[in-house]
Copies of this chain bind each other. A is one copy, B any other.
């Protein structure tokens, strides 16, 4: 046997697996250690606390979405309003997908919310940062009003806040209700007009 060396990465993979199977309420550090065939003391050699481990797993999980969105934010050769539309739609789709298809890791994410973890704060800062880039792009290209650009970060934050119903985990239970797509289209239209973009949006 070649017992792979015990790395942080292997621990994270095992932890994700254990969380998916047991959920945040039942998953223990001993479970993770058992899955790896080591003692739980070894896990504590790589992560100082259970909370730290939970955060690292969630960060990895959130970062996968952030990367997908980054690719959209960087899109060139398309009108900025269209980029923003796609970006927000993808954010909504990604969160909804996570909540629906990965409920245990989503529940783990919600635990971090209660803990006021910096991981969540950083995740939001990343998203608002991407939005800020999009807003600046749009203003520069004359596709958004100058008003939006006078403080692009604040505008981006306003866009993020205004669309909260479609990405904030607190609203997850509503994401499977009928009519949610129409509600999203309405808010999106309002926001785009608020940025000074022509209304596009053949909405559903």
Chain B residues with Cβ below 8 Å from A158 are: 183, 186-187, 189-190
Is A196 at the interface (CB under 8 A from chain B)?
Answer: yes
Q: A164-B164, A190-B191 are in contact. Are A157 and B183 (CB under 8 A)?
A: yes
| CA–CA, A165 and B199, complex, Å | 24
Copies of this chain per assembly:
2
* B164:A182 contact, CB within 8 angstroms: no
Residues in B neighbouring A157, C-beta threshold 8 A: 183, 186
Q: Is A162 an interface residue (CB 8 A)?
A: yes
Interface size on A, residues (CB 8 A): 27
Asked if B187 and A162 make an inter-chain contact with CB atoms under 8 angstroms apart, the answer reads yes
Q: Which of A131-168 contact B (CB under 8 A)?
A: 145, 147, 154-155, 157-159, 161-165
Q: Could you say which of A145, A158, A163, A182 has the most chain B C-beta atoms within 10 Å of its C-beta?
A: A158
Residues of B close to A189: CB separation below 8 A: 147, 158, 194
Interface residues, chain A, CB within 8 Å of chain B?
145, 147, 154-155, 157-159, 161-165, 170-171, 182-183, 186-187, 189-196, 199
> Would you give 25 A-B contacts (Cβ < 8 Å), ordered by A?
A145-B193, A147-B189, A147-B193, A154-B182, A154-B186, A158-B186, A158-B189, A158-B190, A159-B190, A161-B165, A161-B186, A161-B187, A162-B162, A162-B163, A162-B187, A164-B165, A170-B170, A170-B171, A189-B194, A190-B191, A190-B195, A191-B194, A193-B193, A193-B194, A193-B196
